[in-house]
A and B are shown apart, each in its own frame.
Chain A
């Protein structure tokens, strides 16, 4: 490395970071979130101890036979009641919406704090980023702007200029009606906000204009986030039908983990789940099919959740002919995983590490067909 280059980098990086203007530390929100994290930590510790004991017993009985199917996803309750109200004449300035979830009040408000807006929701700041949705006259009727998980799931969306009403369908059968609000100035997009117990409680968004329904969309909803996807015309079937599969699960580095892959009108989405608390997720509108002769390909959209300090969930798309994948770690341990199908594609997910030199790091895969014939093999190490 050239010393002058390092000096130039230091000289440029210093001002760029040191002179950044900051808002004050949101102490109350940090302490409140910290208390919740402390409770979650206790719960997950108890769960992982129980899961760890179960896996040790099971491993002694089943290895090296093929690992059995992953655990099913726990069902979400539909016993909740949500209200969402547009601001009235006595509402505080900047109010976008307010309501109750099972009797507990929530509200989202835009507050101008020079030089920018911040969005308060359930008593906390929603980090606003640096770009407001500007004048919004073309594009999808509703565009996801911000999501926050502050005890409940909050969604804040920008709405196209010709949309007068948005209806949100929920899993409990309720339909929320939201009127867009010009809360961040006439030069910027109007906004809607709503809150639900969980992002996965949202089934659909339907936009209406002066002439009636403009379109609708089926969002992808995960444990910790939500994505407004492809908009459909009124009456147009939402295809392909949404499907979700657990493509891998287990216990690694003292934590239980699962990887979910979904397909639907939005394309493909993956989300990890560590100790039942969610994880990283990524979506892709299009997932290219594997070429003939390719049996295994990293599915970058589906992985990425970190397990503990250095564990990592990784996922791959595999060919239809693959019946089982054998993974080998750097220390020589073998694991066999059956692919799971979702949306006509087959996937496997497994636990590896972020440290390429760790003994637990998965370094090789080998694909076998239903007759235990080797189809192919290769390196499973993540790209640096």
Chain B
């Protein structure tokens, strides 16, 4: 019986992993600006989800639960990563330059926005990606980030102001 229960649990969990992996990695990529780190974060978040699987299964909105886990994982690691990135030049340096060096303008554009995002504080990056990539409402973002709607508004406003001034996105004002 126990084996049957575990097998069913693993089958359900496998389905969750394969269906949510792309979204979580992309979300983490928006948070970190680095594919490897993003995959690491998504992997850790899904492993934590496994540990809380019974709660996750009962959750009204499992996606919201997963994103919360991902955000917590990101927050507990961003300071460490900031150091590692500053030491290795990965942060908005080698990675971003690799993107911007691509000969196609589409990739240049993608590299520019990721490089510009990397210049924001982690909290503002989270707000921007949740608000403008996942298209969540300000109230939903506030709930995910455990803060007030006013904080989301102010963080988004500051982020937008910074992005408009970033060298990578200088042409925004003229578009």
Binding site for B on A (CB under 8 A): 1-2, 4-6, 8-10, 12-20, 22-27, 29-31, 33-38, 40-41, 125, 127-131, 144-145, 224-225, 227, 274, 279-283, 303-306, 309-310, 354-357, 384
Contact = CB atoms under 8 A, between A and B. Distances in A.
A282 B79 CA distance: 6
A306 B76 contact: yes
A285 to B, nearest CB: 10
B156 A1 contact: yes
A154 to B, nearest CB: 13
Nearest to B133: A13
A157 to B, nearest CB: 12
Nearest to B94: A131
Interface residues of B, number: 72
B65 interface: no
A31 B10 contact: yes
A48 to B, nearest CB: 15
A9 B128 contact: yes
A280 B127 CA distance: 21
A357 B30 CA distance: 26
Nearest to B114: A16
Interface string B19-44: 00110011101100011110110011
A12 B113 contact: yes
A5 B46 contact: no
Contact of A8 (B36, B52, B106, B175): B175
Given A129-B34, A354-B75, 19 more contacts: A1-B156, A2-B160, A5-B172, A13-B30, A17-B26, A20-B25, A20-B29, A25-B46, A30-B17, A33-B43, A34-B49, A34-B51, A36-B47, A37-B48, A41-B52, A227-B83, A227-B87, A304-B80, A310-B146
A130 B35 contact: yes
Given A22-B25, A129-B35, A144-B87, A37 B51 contact: yes
B163 A9 contact: yes
B170 to A, nearest CB: 13
Nearest to B72: A306
A149 to B, nearest CB: 10
Contacts of B133: 10, 13-14, 17
Contact of A17 (B30, B36, B39, B155): B30
A355 B50 contact: no
A227 B80 CA distance: 11
11 contacts: A9-B113, A13-B129, A16-B30, A17-B133, A20-B35, A33-B47, A34-B47, A125-B43, A130-B95, A280-B76, A282-B83
Given A1-B156, A17-B26, A280-B76, A309 B146 contact: yes
Interface of B: 10, 13-14, 17-18, 21-22, 25-27, 29-30, 34-37, 39-40, 43-44, 46-53, 72, 75-80, 82-84, 87-90, 94-95, 98, 106, 109-110, 112-114, 121, 123, 128-129, 132-133, 135, 146-148, 151, 154-158, 160, 163-164, 172, 175
Contact of B36 (A27, A38, A129): A129
B80 A41 contact: no
A16 B44 CA distance: 23
Given A38-B51, A280-B79, A305-B76, A131 B18 contact: no
Contacts of B25: 20, 22
B83 A283 contact: yes
Given A29-B43, A34-B50, A37-B50, A225 B36 contact: no
A357 to B, nearest CB: 6
Contacts of A9: 113, 128, 132, 160, 163
A356 B76 CA distance: 17
B36 A384 contact: no
B36 to A, nearest CB: 3
Contact of B79 (A35, A130, A304): A304
Contacts of B76: 274, 279-280, 305-306
B40 A15 contact: no
Contacts of B46: 25, 30, 34
B110 A15 contact: yes
Nearest to B81: A280
B37 A5 contact: no
Given A1-B157, A14-B133, A27-B14, A41 B90 contact: no
A38 B50 contact: yes
